Amino acid sequence: MEYKNIELNDYEAIKALINDDERVLYKEAIGEDYSHDELGAVKKMPDLVVQAACTEDVSKVMKYAYDNNIVVTPRGSGTGLVGAAVPIYGGIVIDLSRMNKILEIDEENLTLTLEPGVLLMEIGKYVEEFDLFYPPDPGEKTATIGGNISTNAGGMRAVKYGVTRDFIRGLEVVLPNGEVTNLGGKVVKNSSGYALKDLIIGAEGTLGIVTKAILKLLPLPKKAISLLIPFPDLDRAIETVPKIIKSKTIPTAIEFMQRAAIVAAEEFLGKKFPDSQSDAYILLTFDGNSKEEIEASYEKVANICLENGALDVLISDTEERQESIWSARGAFLEAIKASTTEMDEVDVVVPRNKVAEFIKYTHQLEEKHEIRIRSFGHAGDGNLHIYILKDALDEETWNKKLLEVMEDMYAKGRELKGQVSGEHGIGLAKRPYLKKAVPEENLLIMKGIKKAFDPSNILNPGKVI
Residues 265-324 that bind a second copy (CB under 8 A): 289-290, 292-293, 296
Q: 210 or 464: whose CB is closer to a second copy?
A: 464
**Least separation in angstroms between CB 444 and a second copy:** 8
Query: If we measure between CA atoms, which residue out of 203, 238, 222 comes closest to residue 351?
Result: 238
Within residues 80-119, the interface with a second copy by CB under 8 A covers 106-110
Q: What is Dmax (Cα atoms) for the chain? A: 72
Query: Does 39 interact with a second copy (rule: CB under 8 A)?
Result: no
**Least separation in angstroms between CB 287 and a second copy:** 13
Buried-exposed string 220-240: b where 16+ CB fall within 10 A, e elsewhere: bbeebbbbbbbbeebbbbbbb
**Which one of the spans 14-22, 301-309, 393-401, 435-443 is the region binding a second copy (CB under 8 A)?**
435-443
Burial of 189 (0-12, 13-18, 19+ CB in 10 A): exposed
Q: 327 or 442: whose CB is closer to a second copy?
A: 442
Contact residues for 68 (Cβ-Cβ < 8 A; gap 6+): 4, 10
CA distance 294 to 288: 6
Q: 86 or 207: whose CB is closer to a second copy?
A: 207
CA distance 327 to 331: 6
Q: 363 or 435: whose CB is closer to a second copy?
A: 435
CA 464 to chain centre: 15
**Least separation in angstroms between CB 24 and a second copy:** 27
CA distance 405 to 375: 14
Whether 154 contacts 136, CB under 8 Å: yes
Query: Looking at 8, 28, 193, 395, which residue binds a second copy (CB under 8 A)?
Result: 193
Query: Does 248 interact with a second copy (rule: CB under 8 A)?
Result: yes
Q: Taking the CB of residue 285, how many other CB atoms lie within 10 A of it?
A: 25
Whether 186 contacts 110, CB under 8 Å: no
Q: Residue 331 carries which side chain, given as an amino acid letter?
A: A
Within residues 345-384, the interface with a second copy by CB under 8 A covers 347, 349-353, 378, 381-383
Q: 75 or 372: whose CB is closer to a second copy?
A: 75
Q: 91 or 418: whose CB is closer to a second copy?
A: 418
Q: 230 or 382: whose CB is closer to a second copy?
A: 382
Q: 31 or 439: whose CB is closer to a second copy?
A: 439
Q: Taking the CB of residue 342, how many other CB atoms lie within 10 A of it?
A: 15
Number of residues in contact with a second copy, rule: CB under 8 A?
97
Whether 71 contacts 90, CB under 8 Å: yes
**Which one of the spans 36-44, 89-97, 248-256, 358-366 is the region binding a second copy (CB under 8 A)?**
248-256
DSSP 8-state secondary structure symbol assigned to residue 167: G
Query: Looking at 22, 28, 194, 367, which residue binds a second copy (CB under 8 A)?
Result: 194
Query: Looking at 437, 458, 459, 462, which residue binds a second copy (CB under 8 A)?
Result: 437
Q: Taking the CB of residue 168, how many other CB atoms lie within 10 A of it?
A: 24
**Which one of the spans 50-58, 198-206, 315-323, 326-334 is the region binding a second copy (CB under 8 A)?**
198-206
Q: Residue 29 carries which side chain, given as an amino acid letter?
A: A
List, in sequence order, every residue forming a beta bridge with 229; answer none if it has no partner.
282
CA distance 273 to 266: 6
Query: Looking at 117, 146, 242, 462, which residue binds a second copy (CB under 8 A)?
Result: 242
Q: 246 or 271: whose CB is closer to a second copy?
A: 246
Q: 194 or 270: whose CB is closer to a second copy?
A: 194
**Least separation in angstroms between CB 34 and a second copy:** 24
Query: Looking at 50, 118, 156, 201, which residue binds a second copy (CB under 8 A)?
Result: 201
**Least separation in angstroms between CB 440 and a second copy:** 9
Q: 100 or 177: whose CB is closer to a second copy?
A: 177
**Least separation in angstroms between CB 17 and a second copy:** 21
Query: Looking at 153, 283, 310, 459, which residue binds a second copy (CB under 8 A)?
Result: 153
Query: Does 449 interact with a second copy (rule: CB under 8 A)?
Result: yes
Within residues 379-408, the interface with a second copy by CB under 8 A covers 381-383
Helices (H), 380-430: 395-415
Q: HEC string of 15-48? A: HHHHCCHHHEEEHHHCCHHHHCCCCCCCCCCCCE
Query: Does 250 interact with a second copy (rule: CB under 8 A)?
Result: yes
Helix or strand or coil: residue 140? coil
Gyration radius of the chain's alpha carbons: 23
Within residues 162-191, the interface with a second copy by CB under 8 A covers 162-163, 165-166, 175, 177, 179, 181-191
227: part of which helix (H) or strand (E)? strand 223-231
Query: Looking at 224, 312, 446, 456, which residue binds a second copy (CB under 8 A)?
Result: 446
Q: 364 or 442: whose CB is closer to a second copy?
A: 442
**Least separation in angstroms between CB 229 and a second copy:** 19
102: part of which helix (H) or strand (E)? strand 102-106
Helices (H), 270-309: 291-307
